[in-house]
Amino acid sequence: MRVAEGTLRGGGTGMSGKEGAGGFRKRKHDNFPHGQRREEKENVNPPSALMTSFKSFQLELDTRHDKYERLVKLSRDITIESKRTIFLLHRFTSAPNGEEILSESEVKLDAVRRKIKQVAQELIGEDMYQFHRAISPGLQEYVEAVSFQYFIKTRSLISVEEINKQLIFTAEDREETTNMTSSSHDKQPHTWSLKVTPVDYLLGVADLTGELMRLCISSVGNGDIDTPFELSQFLRQIYDGFTFIGNTGPYEVSKKLYTLKQSLAKVENACYTLKVRGSEIPKHMLADVFSTKTELIDQEEGLP
């Protein structure tokens, strides 16, 4: 009887803690009736200052994200058109009329600059470095195409100042602009410009060395014996310039220095073959010999 009374007395007062093996702890808001909690939710004022601030933050982030996506698409278009220009310029050594190739490449580069103009218009009033990762691949490919065309014309390297001079646009063809709102049209200045950063310029020049290596092999296949030696000296000067930067430059620059060294080694190997065995090998077989030696170098150095 005493045990039963103790049990009943314990059940009447309610267990503290976890209420035994199968009990649950009460939550704090369970002490309030459900109607009161519903009224508190309804009392939240949507147009309050806090909600208005977060709405403005959401609109700003969505606008910035949409602009970033548009810049990524423009950069992809710039990359594609620049690659097509480079492929066209490789036909310069084998084409019967090289001037037609150069004029056609200029037309393609003008189309690329129109894309870059759209990028410049998207960046009006914005910090370019906030969107630099979106446009950097396209700018690097454009620098590679422009410098390749400039080398074929002048046998020298174009400077970053000359590249930036070509990227100053006027408002004479404003109607070509797309993806711009009406409010931004009213705020547009009469000129737009987009500057290629020194890092993008260096990375584009580093990629140029690979195209010059291919130009060397194709020129030898066409019977041009002087171009490989000229390219060898030019690539050596570029490589010396990059070695002055060393590890003080950005990581991407030091990463492409290895590829630059491989391109220089392939061109120097071609010059060595021409100097030592040039008189023994017929001209129509020189390209096959160089391609074979290039594959052997890649295998020794573990390149794919």
**Residue stretches of the annotated binding site for Mg(2+):** 144, 211
| Cβ contacts of 34 within 8 Å, gap of 6 or more | none
- CA–CA separation, 273 vs 267, rounded Å? 10
The amino acid that residue 248 corresponds to is T
Binding-site positions read 144, 211
Closest CA to 217 of 282, 159, 270: 270
Q: Please give the DSSP secondary-structure letter assigned to residue 196.
A: P
- CA–CA separation, 82 vs 212, rounded Å? 16
| Cβ contacts of 228 within 8 Å, gap of 6 or more | 216, 219, 220, 267, 270, 271, 274
